[in-house]
Structure formats: C-alpha cells, structure tokens
Structure 1
C-alpha cells in the first residue's frame, strides 16, 4: 500500500479532476499469520494480507456516497472517488454524516516500534510444545482440539479534503489453548486460556499452558448443583462478555434508533451498584494495539460510562454527537453506514464493599468462569439473559466443578445487585476487569 502522503496527494488530484470538493478516506492493511496443531502435527497454517479503503464523497447538495476498494493506486482511487460521487446522488438527506469536528485535533504519535514477525516454523514449534505440555499435564487430558498461535501487523490511516491526516501502526501476538478430557464413565470436560503481547518473544505461553491445565483438572471433579438463588462471582472474561452483549446500553446510535436499554434522558441516573465504575478506554496501558483514532479520524480517549453506579456518558460518532448535543468519543466505524462500538472496557471498584468477600472463606457460592451461547441466550432489547456456563461451586475455598447449569436474570438488575468489585484486575481480549460478585442470581442446576 502507498504511504499516506502519496494517497492524499493522489486523492486530491483525482478529486479536482472529477470536480469533488469534499471527501474523506479511511484505510487499513493487515498482515497476519496463524497456526494450529493437532496431536503433535501441524494442522493448519493461515497467512493473510488484507487491505482496503473506504471512500466517502459529498456532493453540492450535501448528500453522501460511499464505496470501498482494495485498489489504492491513482487509477483505483480515482475510480472509487468517481463511484462514491455518483452514489452521493442517492444519499440520505436527513442526518447526513459529516466530518468529525475533531478530525484535525492533535494526537500523540500512534506508530509504535513493531516486533519482528517470527518464522512460521517458530510458531508451529512453539504451539507443538504448548500442546505437548498441556497433554502431559494430566492423564485425563486427551486433546487440545482448539488452539491457535498468531501474529498480526497492521497499519491504518484517515484523511479528508479539509486537511486532516492521521496514521498509525502496531503489531501483536496471541495464543489460545482449549483442552478436552476423556475418562471412562465420565463426561468430557474442557477449559481454555488466552494470552496476548506485542510480539512472540514476550508472549506468556507458559502462563497460558499452566492456566489451561489447572482449569481443566479443576473440572474433573464435577457434580450437579441444586436450583436456586446464589451469590455468584463472575470472572473478568465472563462479566465483560455479558457487558458486551448489552453494549446497546451505552451506544448512542442504538439509543437514537430506539434499539437500546437506555434513553437520552437516562444520563445522570443510577443504573448500577455504587461500587461499580466503568470506562471505555482505548488508550489503557494494558490495551495491546491501542488505536489512537476511530474511523472518522476522531481521537480515541477515556470515556466515563458509569461512575459510582451512575450513567455518565454514551459512546458517540460525530453524527450521533451532533444529534444529541454531545462530543464525539472516538468510537465510530465507517462503511456503508457509520456505526458505534466500544474500544476497550476498564471496570474497577469505585468504593469498598460493606463486608469482606473472599473465595477462601465464602460458603456455597457459584463462580462463573465462562459464559456460553451468548448469541442465543441474550435478549438485548429486553435486558434478559439465560446462559449455560462453565464454573465451580466454591465452599470455604474448596472448588467443585458444576456439571451443567444455566444462569438467568435481568442485566440492569444484575448491575444493581453487585455487592463486591475486587481490586485485582485481569486482562481479557475485551478489556481489564476484576472479579465481580453479584447477590441473588438464579441458577438452574438439577
């Protein structure tokens, strides 16, 4: 892909030739390599080079046309601009997207020193060793059916006819291991772990191996639990999965479309326990590959969503911010339609709980490690959920795996029923979050 200065110059020249006064371009290029193994042999190697740009053009009537292309040489850009210009005649006339008012706001350099990509053979060897160590962790572990070791290098940019120009690049590596057991007369049990870092050299592969083994072994001793109301502890991954399933709560576009649990008037209302605070923080130090600007060129930032249980802000694009008399927050994705999505959640305790909560002393509580079937068990517009889970019944530090059970409830009620937000955060693909304790959740067991 040509550099951003070459693309900008070429786009400006083509726009003048066609008679286009207003346009913007967002583009990215991603190089990724991933490997999988199976029973000591390489199973799959994938290498992708994905690149493309989205071009938006406004005509004299201020209606907009959009097109996408993977061809960013001068002829390709000219054709994309011409196509988007022709499409602009059919653009929407109400709430037409516009440039972000912050597209030219100065931001820190988003280009970081990238890790050198490892050879594919190194990736395979490292994953084969990881699989072997997991299999050796316990005689009941018979396979690691889901595994992946990948590395990714990406560059992205934004420019517009008003002089905005941004670019950044990152690299990161990640590993995922998910094991399975086989024991005569017993159900198969599974567990997994994930790690991410800037490059393969710094990737905590051993930590991922040990967590996978320990979790898998802890599920071997399982039993059914009685149906009832329990004090439930969510792992960081489980809580953020549930939070993501109900992200319409903070999404300004969903609110404007009336597809949200929130309304514009809900700002300032208490929607959660005063123990809980939540930020969307793309620039959090733990966010590997943090993006410094969104698809509209708006700088990303720390956005306070919940403070001491009170709803403080929504996530905005430039268009939703204008309609709701707010500021863009750096959460826009451009395409045929501008959408809004969270960047990186940061959940933390805003106050200490009234009493002490500890897994070592708590009696008869359910620890939910992983939620399943989120695509089917969540009714995001009603706020309800009913989800199978992997987890343990914990009694004074003794863990017994839950055979099979379902947790159900109302998400807004769950937020208000939080009785403890622990201090120690955990890193997940979706953000950082400590364990969350919730009182009185319904568990269907036997």
Structure 2
C-alpha cells in the first residue's frame, strides 16, 4: 500500500527542486487472485498486481502536461514530474483542466478494512463444490463452462500542490457461475448469476448457485413467439444495461462534445414517465467497494438524475462543471483527457401509478432477463436499439422460455412508456434497480 502522506512530502520536495508550482497525482493499485474450475478439476489460477499513477503538471501559462507511471519511489516521481512538466508546453489553452474546487472538501467516511485473502486451495474447493452442486440441481444441466471466484484488494489516492490528500482502501470477493443445459432435439440453453461481497466469508455462494440453477432450468422447453408489440418487463440488470448504453443522456462531457441525446437546455424537462426516478450514488450501501472520491479528488455523492420523470442533473468533472456553471459531482476519471462516467445507478419508483402490475396476474408479457450485443445493437446518438435477449413469455405466472428474439425501440420513448416501476430492487454490480414495465415494445420472434 502507498504511504500517501510520505509520498506527498516527497513530491513537494522534488517539485520545489524542479521549480514546479502546480501539480496533482492520482493513483490506484490492486492485488487480485482468481480461480476457475472445469468438470471437477482446477482449470486456472490467476494472480496479478496492477498499478497506475497519473501525474499532471501545470506551467506558468496554465497549460497542463500529463504522464503516467507505475513507479512511486522518489526517482519515479521525479521522472514523472519532469516528463509532465515538459509536456505542459504542448497543453491546450482552451478549456484547460484545473484543480477541482472540491479537492480539499470533506469526503464521506466509510469504515472499511482490507481483508486478508483466503488461501488458493480454499477458493478452489469452494468453486468446485459450487460446480458440483449446480450440476446436481437438474439432470439437464450438463456443465458450468464459465465460472470464477476471485478476491481483490484495492488502494486509491489523490494529492495536489494545494494540500489535497486523500486515500482509501477496500476489499471485495466475487463469484460468477454460468451453466449450460442440454435436452435431446433442442439447442443448449444457458444462464448465469454474479454475486459480490466484501469478503469470501460473506459472499452469497449458495444464492449464486440457486439463482443460476433456477434460471437455467426455466429456459428448458423453450418456444418460439410471434413478432409483434408486447408489454415488456425488464429485469433490473437488463434495464441498467440499457440505461448504461445511453448514459450520454446525463454525461456533461458528451453534451459539451455534442455526442449526447441531451443538450444543456434539457435540464428541467420531462424525459421519462413520472413513475421513474434515477440517481447516481457511489455511496449506496449496496455498492461494495464504492469510491469516496473521483480521479480529480472531488468527493463522490448521491446525484439525482431523473426525479419523477424530470431530468434534474448532469454528471460532471471539474472542467465540465465550470463550463456549465454547475458543481462537480465526483464522476471524473483522470488521464490525458478527463472523462466523465457514472459510478453506481440507483433506480427507484417516482410518483405512485394508477395501478399496480404483477407477473402472477399479467397476461402475455415478455420478461427480459438479459440483453446481448450491446456493443453492436445500440445507436447512442440516435437513441435506437435492437438487441437479442434472454427471457420468458409470462402468462398469469407461468413462464415459457423464448427460443430467440430481439427487442427494438427508441430509448427516449421507452422512458416515456414506463407504466410501472416495482418496489423490490435487484442488486447488480452496476447499480440497484427493480423490474421496469414498459408498454408497446417491438419484439421480433418467429
């Protein structure tokens, strides 16, 4: 782990010797170990130590130079400062990056401790037992071709010449199981589940096995469906996948670059059903390993994006906030170019609807569990999508797996066509979201 205060003192001495007045450093490192198994035998053991340090220096003309390094000893820092200082002569003059005005503001205090990793044999035994239990859950489950159990310790820090000094560390463990089932005369069917927690001891391995088995079994005896318009119910994970694909809606940098479905004037406008509310919340209790500061040292926070259908905020770095007369939101990624990205979505009901819906009573609705080919089937600047999916036709609680089909539409219309937001959330690695009911989406089936 980097000793941040010692690094800050060393950097200040070197910068003074080099005549550098303004600089900042953001760094992260991770130690991870993961295992995979195959048919009762260990398949792969992977261990890695990765680190990345971004050093930025400003010259007397307020131009910035940047370099990266993995070496934080005095010699490495001196070389990085020299290189960034030389590069500053070629820095941009227009909209040049600057320190975040909140780099020294108090950040949230979260009680976290690094957890000592379990031994590799323990990881292998745990994953082998999970594989065996999953295969034994149903005669049709033939194998678990994709699986993994991993542990990771992460350390992050930020410091600058104005006295900012932040560091944090966290641990998490995760398990992924993806089973394959086969029936005579049918195509193989697959499904998976992912769980994450702060340590191996708290990881819900049993829940991952049960969820994977239930999903895989439910996809047996699949049927074709007719092409047409359907009421579609997105699982929390599926809706977050779609929301992430069109995250330019909230991204201030994308908006300033004219690469967004929104404009600066979109704030305060209705963009979704009043039944929907969305926040970006890095500090949500379900966000295992959530960050308390971003790449510019800005504290992370809960940022309302959509409140009862109204677009209320964008996600900002220090630079975009300055240009749009707003406040940084803790969503910046430091680098040669500062970028903006969401931390952890929290989707929840807005206004109460006229009626409630339930899969136990609904007739002929499509439940989408997982969306595929998001890299190819989405047009972020047009708002359109056409995506294959895994899911079921649900009729009064009875689920029939769908052979193969695609869902298509316009994301802005999807947001406005929401007819119900359930209250019970699904917890996923990218956010917390309940099932979302959308009226009149196009499904291409048989």
**TM-score normalized by the length of structure 1:** 0.99
2:424 is paired with a residue whose SS is: coil
1:353 is displaced (CA, Å) by 2.0
Q: Distance in 1 between matches of 2:367 and 2:352?
A: 20
Change in 2 beyond 3 A, CA 1:99/1:174: same
1:113 is displaced (CA, Å) by 1.9
Q: Distance in 2 between matches of 1:20 and 1:422?
A: 55
Root mean square deviation of aligned Cα? 0.8
The answer for unaligned runs of 5 or more in structure 2 is none
Q: Distance in 1 between matches of 2:134 and 2:103?
A: 48
Q: Distance in 2 between matches of 1:353 and 1:207?
A: 32
2:158 corresponds in structure 1 to: 158
Asked whether 1:235 is paired with 2:235, we answer yes
1:189 corresponds in structure 2 to: 189
Q: Distance in 2 between matches of 1:111 and 1:324?
A: 34
2:399 corresponds in structure 1 to: 399
2:106 corresponds in structure 1 to: 106
Q: Distance in 2 between matches of 1:20 and 1:110?
A: 34
Q: Distance in 1 between matches of 2:396 and 2:353?
A: 19
Native 8 Å contact 1:276 1:349 kept in 2: yes
In the TM superposition, what are the counterparts of 1:12-411 in structure 2 within 5 Å?
12-110=12-110, 112-411=112-411
Native 8 Å contact 1:110 1:167 kept in 2: no
**TM-score normalized by the length of structure 2:** 0.99
Q: Distance in 1 between matches of 2:111 and 2:331?
A: 19
Native 8 Å contact 1:110 1:291 kept in 2: no
- How many positions carry a matched residue from both structures? 446
Q: Distance in 1 between matches of 2:55 and 2:127?
A: 40
1:181 is displaced (CA, Å) by 1.3
The answer for unaligned runs of 5 or more in structure 1 is none
Change in 2 beyond 3 A, CA 1:129/1:18: same
Deviation track 1:258-279 (CA, whole Å, cap 9, x = no partner) reads 0000000000000000000000
1:108 is displaced (CA, Å) by 3.1
1:111 is displaced (CA, Å) by 5.6
Change in 2 beyond 3 A, CA 1:244/1:427: same
Native 8 Å contact 2:107 2:300 kept in 1: no
1:437 corresponds in structure 2 to: 437
Deviation track 1:4-51 (CA, whole Å, cap 9, x = no partner) reads 011101111111111100000001110111111111111111111111
Deviation track 1:336-383 (CA, whole Å, cap 9, x = no partner) reads 110000000000001222122000000000000000000000000000
* More off after superposition, 432-441 vs 101-110: 101-110
Q: Distance in 1 between matches of 2:328 and 2:356?
A: 40
Native 8 Å contact 2:108 2:299 kept in 1: no
1:426 is displaced (CA, Å) by 1.1
